[in-house]
Amino acid sequence: MKSLASAHALAAALTLSVLSIPNARGQQGGAAAEPPPGLPPEVQQMMKEGKGTVSTSSSSHTSSSSTTTVGNTTAQHSETSSGSSSGAPREQNRFRVSGETVVDARSGLTWQRAVAPKRMTPSEAKGYCARLSLGGATGWRLPTEDELKALIEPARKPTIDREAFPGVSASPDESKFWSSTPSPKEPGMVRSVDFSNGFVRDSAATYSYSVRCVRPNG
């Protein structure tokens, strides 16, 4: 009877240790935790050897969703996160499309949504933008290098949000856009942005590239 009672006590103590310390070996296979005092020596030894513990490990996946407004359409973008997000999450509500124009909430600038109907030199591009009227708005100009670079989204190909700015090709031959910024090093050269890869470079002012004009919002 005495040995039976001891066996019951041992089983009860072991059950208590399992329930009260669900992971005595620590996280990610770390060193075993010290058993609490007061347990029978047999239980303490078993816990030290990892036999009296219940250890579970699971990867935590967090689902999140974001909404992006482009024009009058709200699109749902879902991501699954396991320590890091997959894909390229989009900045919520950055671009607001209104007819032929796009307002950038980050910079406060209004962009021409469509690409100019033909490619042109920087000089021709400045004249084109100066004459442009969209939605009754005038005062358009060729964007600076920094303004144009702000549209680059490296995780995309081409490296621009084509929902907001359609008509940009992934081909290097058709994805170069002029800025109004002259090269700081090379006379006769102008800074351009290649949206096929996000590169910014000096280009000869005699070349014909694509154009997208910009103006202050309002």
Q: What is the pTM of this model?
A: 0.60
12 pLDDT above the threshold of 50: no
Residue 13 gets which letter from DSSP? H
Q: How much is the average pLDDT of 48-63? A: 42
Domain ranges, residue 81:
59-93
Q: How much is the average pLDDT of 121-130? A: 98
125 pLDDT above the threshold of 90: yes
CA distance 149 to 167: 17
Q: How much is the average pLDDT of 85-98? A: 69
Residues 124 and 198 in one domain: yes
Residues 124 and 189 in one domain: yes
Q: What pLDDT, on the 0 to 100 scale, is given for residue 46?
A: 56
Residues 144 and 77 in one domain: no
For residue 143, being part of any structural domain is answered with yes
For residue 102, being part of any structural domain is answered with no
Q: How much is the average pLDDT of 81-109? A: 74
Q: Say whether 41 sits in a helix, a strand or coil.
A: helix
For residue 126, being part of any structural domain is answered with yes
Residue 28 gets which letter from DSSP? G
Q: What pLDDT, on the 0 to 100 scale, is given for residue 199?
A: 97
- The phi, psi pair for 20, rounded to 5°, reads -85, -25
Q: Can you read off the two tokens belonging to residue 101?
A: 């124009």
Residues 119 and 84 in one domain: no
CA distance 49 to 192: 66
For residue 151, being part of any structural domain is answered with yes
Q: What pLDDT, on the 0 to 100 scale, is given for residue 202?
A: 98
Instruction: Determine the length of the chain.
Output: 218
Non-local CB neighbours of 33 within 8 Å, separated by 6+ positions: 21, 24, 25, 26
Helices (H), the chain: 2-20, 41-48, 122-131, 145-149
Q: How much is the average pLDDT of 49-63? A: 41
Q: What pLDDT, on the 0 to 100 scale, is given for residue 216?
A: 95
Residues 39 and 118 in one domain: no
Q: What pLDDT, on the 0 to 100 scale, is given for residue 173?
A: 84
For residue 129, being part of any structural domain is answered with yes
29 pLDDT above the threshold of 50: no
Q: Can you read off the two tokens belonging to residue 120?
A: 């042109």
Mean pLDDT, the chain, integer: 74
For residue 101, being part of any structural domain is answered with no
Q: How much is the average pLDDT of 113-140? A: 97
Q: How much is the average pLDDT of 61-87? A: 34
Residue 175: CATH number of its domain: 3.10.100.10
More confident residue, 55 or 176: 176
Residues 168 and 211 in one domain: yes
* Closest C-alpha among 168, 167, 118, 112 to residue 140: 112
Residues 32 and 130 in one domain: no
Residues 83 and 122 in one domain: no
Domain count, the chain: 3
190 pLDDT above the threshold of 80: yes
Enumerate the β-bridge partners of residue 159: none
